[in-house]
Amino acid sequence: MGNLKKLSIKFFLTIFFIMVSYNNFVFSREINLKDIENYLNSISSLNSEIVQTDQNGNEIFGSLKLKKPGKLRIEYFNNKSDHLIVGSNGIIAIIDYNSNSEPLRYPIKGTPLKFLSENDINLNDKRIVSKLKKNKNFIKLEIKEKKPTIGLGKIILKFQTDPIKILGWEIPISEIETTEIELSQPKFNKNLDDDLFYIAAEIMKFKNSKN
């Protein structure tokens, strides 16, 4: 009876260690492009405070609102920038309240921000090159268009790994200039009013401020 009890305990311990080893293997596997793609496609909206930093270390604080597909709003909290960026219906408008010039408009598909605002992101698309760069505590995903229409056509997304969560991104403007966005207390998949992304209304406010 004693031998049977010892065998039972040994069997239980063997099964236990096999299960622990299996679970460690499952949870320690490396994150791949498909994991990131699935995560990005699971996001329908994003509402976050941001810290925007340029290549000289200058910081601007603001907020970002994104709603798929193709809706974006970035505004700032202080006087370092009097710009509003608002996008919808395939267009991004940049409104400079310090200027009397007509707001600039770009097709959102011509900017790297499309990789955040599209409903169905395909990181294996033949028109782009996707590269993962892994660090101990986070990973970066570089997405570069093979034939960019505006600028360098590149965005570098930063994620924490366990669980996967976007931390921010970097957009190289030139070979020496870059803009980095860091998210602060982001909220995902919450309802955002479509009026926040109404370009015509924002341009009207801009024009009225000049009268």
27 has pLDDT over 50: no
Residues 12, 81 share a domain? no
Residues 161, 67 share a domain? yes
The per-residue pLDDT for range 103-115, each reduced to its tens digit, is: 999 998 888 888 8
Number of domains observed in the structure of the chain: 2
Residues 38, 24 share a domain? no
Residues 45, 6 share a domain? no
Residues 37, 24 share a domain? no
Q: Which two tokens stand for residue 93?
A: 């408008």
Residues 3, 68 share a domain? no
Residues 94, 9 share a domain? no
The single residue listed with the structure tokens 């193709």 is 70
Q: What is the pTM of this model?
A: 0.81
Surface-to-core class of residue 84, CB atoms within 10 Å of its CB (0-12 exposed, 13-18 middle, 19+ buried): buried
Is residue 74 within 8 Å of 85, Cβ to Cβ? yes
- How far apart are alpha carbons 127 and 19 in whole angstroms? 43
Q: Which two tokens stand for residue 201?
A: 């209304």
How confident is the model over 173-190, as a mean pLDDT? 92
Domain range holding 10?
1-29
Give the Cβ contact number of residue 20 at 10 Å. 10
Residues 100, 25 share a domain? no
Domain at 158, CATH number: 2.50.20.10
Q: Which is it for strands 178-188 and 164-172: parallel, antiparallel or unpaired?
A: antiparallel
Least confident of 73-77, 153-157, 190-194, 198-202: 73-77
**Which position has the higher pLDDT, 80 or 46?**
46
